[in-house]
Amino acid sequence: MFKKLLITLLLTFFSTQATAYIFKDFVPANISKIHVDIVDHAKEGCWTNIGEVKRYTEDKLRLAGFNVPMDNFAVYEDKQHYVFVITITSQRNAGLCFGVIELDITRATSLDSIIGMFSLGGGSSIFSGMQNVNQGALEIVGNFLEKAAEP
């Protein structure tokens, strides 16, 4: 019980913590296509609008001029093919949700037989004391993509 209370207090203290970075290379001319991939680690109904968040992200990317295929991501097709990954990890404590929203724009790459991931941007936000993260997920994605569109 004390451990859960301590975790809740720490997350409440850090609930406004957010980080983000975006390389200026994240423009439609440098990206052949970008898939949106969802990783759902939310428990107990803390995230219930997963499809809406995916469609919203795809629509925002298309409006910004990116090629966003309708199919699900299966494999990187070329060196300019990226994946926008949205991961939400959350659970309930005392009836309210706490957790983290993570965003990452990545692609697999290799250099001199070394395979790794290359990121053009990412961010995270810690939240707590919410009924669910539905609205928060939309806001974090929207803010991130607005930041990416800035010159």
Beta strand ranges found along 1-151 (DSSP E) = 18-22, 33-42, 81-93, 96-111, 114-130
Return the H-helix or E-strand segment holding 134. helix 134-149
The structural domains of the chain, with segments of one domain joined by +, span: 2-149
Range 82-101 average pLDDT: 95
Range 24-33 average pLDDT: 92
pLDDT for residue 38 is more than 60: yes
| Global confidence as pTM | 0.84
31 three-state secondary structure: coil
The pLDDT assigned to 18 comes to: 65
Range 108-123 average pLDDT: 85
Among 43, 45, 49, 14, smallest CA distance to 125 is for 14
Q: What ranges in 14-132 are assigned the alpha helix state H? A: 50-63
Distance CA 119, CA 107 (A): 7
Question: Which of 10 and 88 is assigned the larger pLDDT?
Answer: 88
- 2-149: CATH topology: Double Stranded RNA Binding Domain (3.30.160)
